[in-house]
C-alpha cells in the first residue's frame, strides 16, 4: 500500500523564516493519523527542518542532519552539502525514501537522495503531496501581499488542504 501524506512549506520574508507542515498521514484512501508533526527545530532552535516521505527514513535523515550541523558548528550550507553527499553515496542512506527542507534565518535548502541541495531563488519552497499547491499559493501571496512569512504559510497551507486530499489543516508551524 503506497503511503501518501504531507505538505511542507517554507517561506523566507524579510528577517523571518517560517516553515509549516500538515498533520495528515494516509495509506491509500485511509487517513491513519491527522496530527503528525513533520516540522522540527534542530541545532538549539536555530535550524528548521521538515520532511516528506517514509517516516522512519525521514527521522534517520533528520538525525544525520543534526549530526552534520553539530560537526560543522551550525553551518547549514556545509551540513546540507555533506548530508546530500552521504545520502547519495552511502549504501544504507541511498535507499531512504524521503525529502527534506532545511532552513536557517538566511537560507533555505531542499535536500534529496539524488544529491540535490537546491536553494530557491524567491525564498519559497514546498514538498510533498500538496507541495505544488502550497508553493503556487505562497508565491502568489509573496508577490501580491505584504503578509509576514508565517501568515503566508498559514494561508498557502489552507489552500493546499482545500485541494489535496492528502493534506489537512492540522498545522505545525515553526519560525526563526
Spatial distance between the Cα atoms of 24 and 34, rounded to a whole number of angstroms: 4
Which pLDDT does position 4 carry in this prediction? 53
Which pLDDT does position 26 carry in this prediction? 85
Residue with cell string 514546498: 126
In SS3 terms, 88-109 reads as HHCCCHHHCCEEEEEECCCCEE
Per domain, the residue ranges of the chain are: 3-170
Pairing of β 30-33 and β 39-42:
unpaired
Which pLDDT does position 1 carry in this prediction? 34
Measured CA angle at 43 (ends 39, 44), to 5 deg: 100
Spatial distance between the Cα atoms of 104 and 116, rounded to a whole number of angstroms: 18
pLDDT in tens, the chain (176 residues): 344 568 999 999 999 999 999 999 888 888 889 999 999 999 999 999 999 988 888 899 999 999 999 999 999 999 999 999 988 888 787 787 889 999 999 999 999 888 899 999 899 999 999 999 999 999 999 999 999 999 999 999 999 999 999 999 999 999 99
Which pLDDT does position 34 carry in this prediction? 92
Spatial distance between the Cα atoms of 20 and 149, rounded to a whole number of angstroms: 10
Reference 152, options 165, 164, 170, 136; nearest CA is 136
The pTM of the full predicted model, rounded to 2 decimals, is 0.94
Q: What's the topology of domain 3-170?
A: 3.60.20
Question: Per the structure block, which three cell numbers stand in for 122?
Answer: 524567491
Phi and psi, residue 120, nearest 5°:
-65, 145
Give the single-character DSSP code of 130.
Answer: T
Catalytic residues: 6
Amino acid at each position: 500500500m503506497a503511503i501518501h501524506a504531507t505538505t511542507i512549506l517554507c517561506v523566507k520574508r524579510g528577517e523571518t523564516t517560517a516553515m509549516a507542515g500538515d498533520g495528515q498521514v494516509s495509506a491509500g484512501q485511509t487517513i491513519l493519523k491527522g496530527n503528525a508533526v513533520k516540522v522540527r527545530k534542530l541545532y538549539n532552535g536555530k535550524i528548521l527542518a521538515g520532511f516528506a516521505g517514509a517516516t522512519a527514513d525521514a527521522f534517520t535523515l533528520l538525525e544525520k542532519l543534526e549530526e552534520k550541523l553539530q560537526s560543522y558548528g551550525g553551518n547549514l550550507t556545509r551540513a546540507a552539502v555533506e548530508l546530500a553527499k552521504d545520502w547519495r553515496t552511502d549504501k544504507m542512506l541511498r535507499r531512504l525514501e524521503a525529502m527534506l527542507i532545511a532552513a536557517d534565518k538566511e537560507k533555505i535548502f531542499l535536500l534529496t537522495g539524488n544529491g540535490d541541495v537546491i536553494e530557491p531563488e524567491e525564498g519559497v519552497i514546498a514538498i510533498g503531496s500538496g507541495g505544488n499547491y502550497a508553493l503556487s499559493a505562497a508565491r502568489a501571496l509573496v508577490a501580491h501581499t505584504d503578509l509576514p512569512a508565517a501568515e503566508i504559510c498559514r494561508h498557502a497551507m489552507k489552500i493546499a488542504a482545500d485541494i489535496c486530499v492528502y493534506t489537512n489543516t492540522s498545522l505545525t508551524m515553526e519560525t526563526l
